[in-house]
Amino acid sequence: MTEEVKNQLDQIGNIVDEKIEKAFNAAQDNAKGEVEASLKSEISNLTNKYNEEFEAATKRMDAIEMESKKTLSGATAKTFKGSLEAALKDGAIDAMIKGSTNAARFEVKAGDMTMANAFTGVVAGETVIPDVKFDPSRAVHIRSLIPNGSTDAQTIRFPKESAYDDGAAATAQGSTLGQSDFDITATSVNVEKIGTFMRITEEMLADTPQLTSYLSARVPNKVLSIEDTEILNGDGSSPNLDGLFTDGAAFVTSSSANFYQSIESANEYDVLIAALDQLAASNYQADSIILNPVDFHKIVLLKSTANEYLKNQVIQGVQPAIMGVPITLNTAVTAGKFLVGNLSVATQLWIRDGLGVEFSREDSTNFRDGFVTVRAQERCALTNYQPNAIVQGTFSTAKTALETS
């Protein structure tokens, strides 16, 4: 009932009450208790008017209530799923099912697609992948290409031939044999340490699934990547290792080389063949070629004068190789450089303390602040026994030496 209708009925009711009270007082004053006829008639009319107004108001309220129910029944919240089901029931894709068309389209109003109309809070479930995703580490580390040994010493000492004067010759009967001399030099390298550490909170370890496994896999591979750099490029000054590029024999660019200025349009492939020849001239059998991926892919893209790829000379099965010598790709090799070697005899990696990962609260203020220190380290040494079993150089310089004048 509206406030206006209520006020009207109240006014009529008040008037009726006044008239009845007046009639009652008049009856008391009249000895006979009779009420004037005019007053009776006035009260009767007001009562009838009140009843009519009340009845009319009740009918209006009933009509409003019915209309509200109809509106509410038709105001069902629409969802994308509901709209989709309704469209399918109305035959939105019947033509496509029957084969008369290859596509079907129907429109769903933007307002129907808001999830807020249908969902409150987190309704849909969540799928949590526990493993931490990260870019891969190197597929092959240099340590897997060379012999490994173990030691409990701080220093590795070994004798190495530093010179040899060969006097061997065919000698006539009664003649003096030619004299040969050699020099042996004691060489030593120190065990060096490679490693890293990080501090993480106790909450990270407790609340992040698979974090310990992630750290145990990820961090050591990062240390091995630094080991690759040391094995290849270390300058021998502590705490660096003696690297293969540092100790290995240089690619010969002088006129004493077998292919000096003898190759037309010399390319990277020609350089590697010449390096294999230089190694063979010292009686070594190459077992490894190590390149930066960029230089290897340059070789794969090389073409003949007829614009034909030369890759069939490089790719042999799954393992890339040149003349049967496997090629290893490693980003620790500086782009533009190459190394060809008989690594099984040229060098050896010595392990004093194997690569390990440790977790500890005993570091600085870790216990007080709720941190855990993760440390990954190893101690190792590299002994390069025979530098001539390695040929290393730069492609640009080598190509210039090979190019015909």
DSSP, residue by residue, 173-228: TTPPPPP-EEEEEEEEEE-EEEEEEEEEEHHHHHHSTTHHHHHHHHHHHHHHHHHH
Residue 80 has pLDDT above 80, yes or no: no
Per-residue confidence (pLDDT) for residue 32, from 0 to 100: 47
Question: And the tokens for 239?
Answer: 């705490």
Question: And the tokens for 63?
Answer: 């009509």
What value does the mean pLDDT take over residues 141-161? 94
Q: Confidence class of residue 36 from pLDDT cuts 50, 70 and 90?
A: low
Least confident of 60-74, 143-157, 281-295: 60-74
**Residue whose C-alpha is closest to residue 319's, from 176, 88, 145:** 145
Per-residue confidence (pLDDT) for residue 127, from 0 to 100: 79
Q: Confidence class of residue 175 from pLDDT cuts 50, 70 and 90?
A: very high
Q: Give tens-digit pLDDT for 306-363.
A: 888 876 766 656 788 998 899 999 999 999 999 999 999 999 999 999 999 998 999 9
Question: And the tokens for 71?
Answer: 């509106």
> Percentage of residues in the chain with pLDDT exceeding 70?
69
What value does the mean pLDDT take over residues 4-22? 62
Burial (CB count <10 Å: 0-12, 13-18, 19+), residue 342:
buried
Across 97-137, where does the E strand assignment appear? Answer: none
Per-residue confidence (pLDDT) for residue 303, from 0 to 100: 86
Q: Confidence class of residue 213 from pLDDT cuts 50, 70 and 90?
A: confident
- Those residues whose C-beta lies under 8 Å from the C-beta of residue 73, and which sit 6 or more positions away, are none
Distance in angstroms (rounded) separating the CA atoms of residues 259 and 277: 9
| Secondary element (H or E) of residue 21 | helix 3-29
Q: What values do phi and psi take at 203, rounded to 5?
A: -65, -35
Residue 273 has pLDDT above 80, yes or no: yes
DSSP 71-106: HHHT-PPP-HHHHHHHHHHTTTTHHHHHTS-S----
Q: How many CB atoms lie within 10 A of CB 15?
A: 15
Distance in angstroms (rounded) separating the CA atoms of residues 362 and 258: 61
Burial (CB count <10 Å: 0-12, 13-18, 19+), residue 2:
exposed
- CB 158 within 8 Å of CB 139: no
- Those residues whose C-beta lies under 8 Å from the C-beta of residue 362, and which sit 6 or more positions away, are 373
What value does the mean pLDDT take over residues 279-299? 95
Distance in angstroms (rounded) separating the CA atoms of residues 382 and 234: 10
Per-residue confidence (pLDDT) for residue 223, from 0 to 100: 94
230 alpha carbon, distance to own chain's centre: 27
Mean pLDDT of the chain: 82
Question: And the tokens for 29?
Answer: 């004053």
What Cα–Cα distance (Å) separates residue 204 from each residue in 106, 135, 311?
Answer: 49, 21, 49
Tell me if the pTM is above 0.85: no
Amino acid at position 351, single letter:
I
Per-residue confidence (pLDDT) for residue 116, from 0 to 100: 58
Least confident of 71-85, 116-130, 165-179, 220-234: 71-85
Residue 397 has pLDDT above 60, yes or no: yes
Q: Give tens-digit pLDDT for 93-140.
A: 666 666 666 666 666 555 555 555 555 666 667 777 777 787 888 889
Q: How many CB atoms lie within 10 A of CB 266?
A: 20
Per-residue confidence (pLDDT) for residue 27, from 0 to 100: 52
- Those residues whose C-beta lies under 8 Å from the C-beta of residue 89, and which sit 6 or more positions away, are none
Q: Confidence class of residue 269 from pLDDT cuts 50, 70 and 90?
A: very high
Q: How many CB atoms lie within 10 A of CB 381?
A: 22
- Those residues whose C-beta lies under 8 Å from the C-beta of residue 197, and which sit 6 or more positions away, are 373, 374, 375, 376
Per-residue confidence (pLDDT) for residue 132, from 0 to 100: 77
